[in-house]
Structure 1
Amino acid sequence: MSEAIQFFADRLRFQTDPSDVYAAQQAGTPFVIVDSRGEPGWRQGHIPGALHLPTTDIPARAADLIDPATPVITYCWGNGCNGATRAALAFAHLGYEVKEMIGGIEYWTREGFPVETAVGTTSQPIDPLTAPLTTITCDC
């Protein structure tokens, strides 16, 4: 039983989701959200306020861009991509407090949260398979 408790506690310690990240942003919680995708993905659309720092650049550039005392949340494309996991590992190697945003930009967008593009900030209608239509929280 204690192994299961530790496993799930660790997941919550090292992972977060789009709804919780959005709520933390709205509450003014201090953290930096890092988009670890390449330039084409960034240009296609990213979370407002995110820092574009592709995974391969993290070791060389992170300390110049992010105070090591600031918590970091990484994201990439979505559940079918482990780029955010690799980015979180790179930050962990540098000593940062880091979490991976599971679901990536895919679930951020599907949950109806804003996305910044070259033409401005937009949002998609909420996908009822990923979030309730009437609130930003799933109450889970």
Structure 2
Amino acid sequence: MTSPLDYFTAKLALETDASDVYAAQKAGDRFVLVDVRGDDAWAQGRIVGAVHLPHREIAARAESELDPAVPVVVYCWSPGCNGGARGALEFAKLGYTVKEMIGGYEYWIREGQPIENDEGQLPREFDPRVMVVRPQLTV
């Protein structure tokens, strides 16, 4: 039986969330963000700065396209999608340091983080159901 300490330590070593990924991007942390969704999803929209590598293609393409010394964070559509876990598994098989961004693209959007498509940056919209929107203070 796994203790709660062991379980949650392992869980946090292998998962991250949209807020932490955005903060890491802003801080300039060294990692590559990988969108493991298919071509149609990628074309519809993706996280600014992400690399497109569908989970079914990781085994064939990762080693020639991504530096195995750089940590990887993968994401798929949403909490209801296991593509991120599939992608993370493929990177782990290849020996990459990898985390899955829980919540996926859905929660990235809901938190109002930057997204783009082939035409450029898309509008940022914040979902008040997942974000605390604080009123601006006036001086």
- Does the TM-score normalized on the shorter chain lie above 0.5? yes
Q: What is the RMSD computed on CA atoms of the aligned residues? A: 1.6
- 1:95 matched to which residue of 2? 95
Provide TM-score, normalisation by structure 2: 0.93
| Aligned residue in 2 for 1:19 | 19
Whole-Å separation in 2 of the counterparts to 1:134 and 1:47: 24
Instruction: Tell me if structure 2 keeps the 8 A contact 1:34–1:50.
Output: yes
2: CA distance between counterparts of 1:66 and 1:125? 31
| Deviation >3 Å, runs of 4+ | none
Q: What 5-or-longer segments of structure 1 have no aligned partner?
A: 136-140
Please, what TM-score do these two structures have when normalized by structure 1?
A: 0.92
- The match for 2:42 is 42
Q: Is the 8 A contact 1:109 1:123 kept in 2?
A: no
Give secondary structure in 1 for the equivalent of 2:121.
strand
- Deviation string 1:37-91 (CA, Å, 9 cap, x unpaired) is 0000000100111010001110010011111010000000000001000000000
Instruction: Quote how far apart the aligned CAs of 1:2 are.
Output: 6.7
Gaps of 5+ in 2: none
For residue 87 of structure 1, give the secondary structure of its aligned residue in structure 2: helix
CA distance in structure 2 between the partners assigned to 1:2 and 1:85 by the alignment? 21
Aligned pair count reads 135
Classify 1:106/1:95 alpha carbon distance in 2 versus 1 (closer, same or farther; 3 Å). Answer: same
Paired position in structure 1 for 2:52: 52
Q: Distance in 1 between matches of 2:122 and 2:73?
A: 22
The answer to whether the Cα contact below 8 Å between 1:110 and 1:124 also exists between their aligned partners in 2 is no
Which of structures 1 and 2 has the bigger CA Rg?
2
- What is residue 75 of structure 1 aligned with on the other side? 75
Q: Which residue of 2 aligns with 1:64?
A: 64
